[in-house]
């Protein structure tokens, strides 16, 4: 089953409208350091939005496009300010190799060929949440042939802090390669 998910915010939309470059806002410094329980909050926030309609340029519970959805989740869950478009978001984090994805990572796609034009939030077991132009806020699966063929990259914005080692600043790395 092929799902066609266009209209997400790249630097240019599928409709050919360019987002304003006037916003020179300072974004949250990376990595965004969080406790593991915040990842549970991320799941709760995402699940509370399932079914909300797609709205081009939307970034509120009245409707979301893909990057507006990501911005909303990161603002609400982590208090973070992120770039507005999927292209800008794709250049904002640290690239993660396939197979090493962790909850909260951003996954990017080229749905219409060419440049990155869609983003979602990795949840677990190859599932990701995103704003579909036909279904609103929903889940997709990276193993689905549609997404597999259009997958571009993933980036990590989060660094998980072990609460036992908060005084020392130690960070939990899990199975990811250390920088």
For the chain, domains (ranges, CATH) are: 32-172 (3.90.1720.10)
pTM tops 0.85: no
More confident residue, 171 or 56: 56
Each residue's pLDDT tens digit, 61-117: 999 999 999 999 999 999 999 999 999 999 999 999 988 999 999 999 999 989 999
Catalytic residue among 8, 35, 130, 173: 130
Alpha-carbon span 122 to 74, nearest angstrom: 13
Q: What is the dihedral of CA 141, 142, 147, 149, to 10 degrees?
A: -150
Catalytic residue among 8, 35, 66, 173: 66
Do 94 and 155 meet the contact criterion of CB atoms below 8 Å apart? yes
Q: Which one, of 91, 4, 115, lies nearest residue 54 by Cα?
A: 4
- Helix-strand-coil percent breakdown of the chain, rounded to 5? 20, 25, 50
pLDDT mean across residues, the chain: 85
The answer to whether 130 is a known catalytic residue is yes
Say if residue 31's pLDDT is above 80.
yes
Catalytic residue among 8, 35, 118, 173: 118
- The pLDDT of residue 19 is 47
Q: Report the residue count for the chain.
A: 179
> What are the backbone angles phi and psi of residue 119, rounded to the nearest 5°?
-140, 145
The answer to whether 35 is a known catalytic residue is no
- The pLDDT of residue 157 is 98
Beta strands across the sheet bearing 151-156: 94-95, 151-156, 106-109, 118-124, 127-132, 136-141
Q: What number is the average pLDDT over the span 152-172?
A: 77
- pLDDT bin (cut points 50, 70, 90) of residue 12 is very low
Classify residue 95 by its DSSP letter: E
């Amino acid at each position: 089953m092929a799902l066609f998910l266009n209209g997400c915010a790249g630097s240019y939309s599928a409709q050919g409208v360019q987002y304003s470059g006037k916003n020179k806002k300072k974004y949250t410094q990376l990595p965004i350091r969080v406790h593991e329980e915040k990842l549970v909050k991320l799941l709760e926030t995402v699940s509370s939005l399932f079914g909300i309609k797609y709205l081009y340029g939307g970034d509120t519970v009245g409707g979301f496009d893909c990057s507006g959805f990501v911005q909303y989740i990161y603002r609400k869950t982590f208090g973070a300010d992120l770039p507005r478009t999927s292209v800008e978001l794709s250049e904002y984090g640290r690239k993660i190799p396939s197979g090493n994805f962790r909850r909260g990572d951003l996954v990017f796609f080229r749905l219409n060929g060419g440049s990155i034009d869609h983003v979602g939030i990795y949840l677990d077991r190859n599932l990701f949440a995103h704003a579909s132009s036909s279904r609103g806020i929903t889940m997709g699966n990276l193993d689905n042939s549609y997404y597999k063929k259009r997958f571009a990259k993933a980036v990590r914005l989060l660094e998980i802090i072990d609460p036992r080692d908060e005084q020392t600043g130690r960070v939990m790395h899990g199975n990811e390669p250390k920088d």
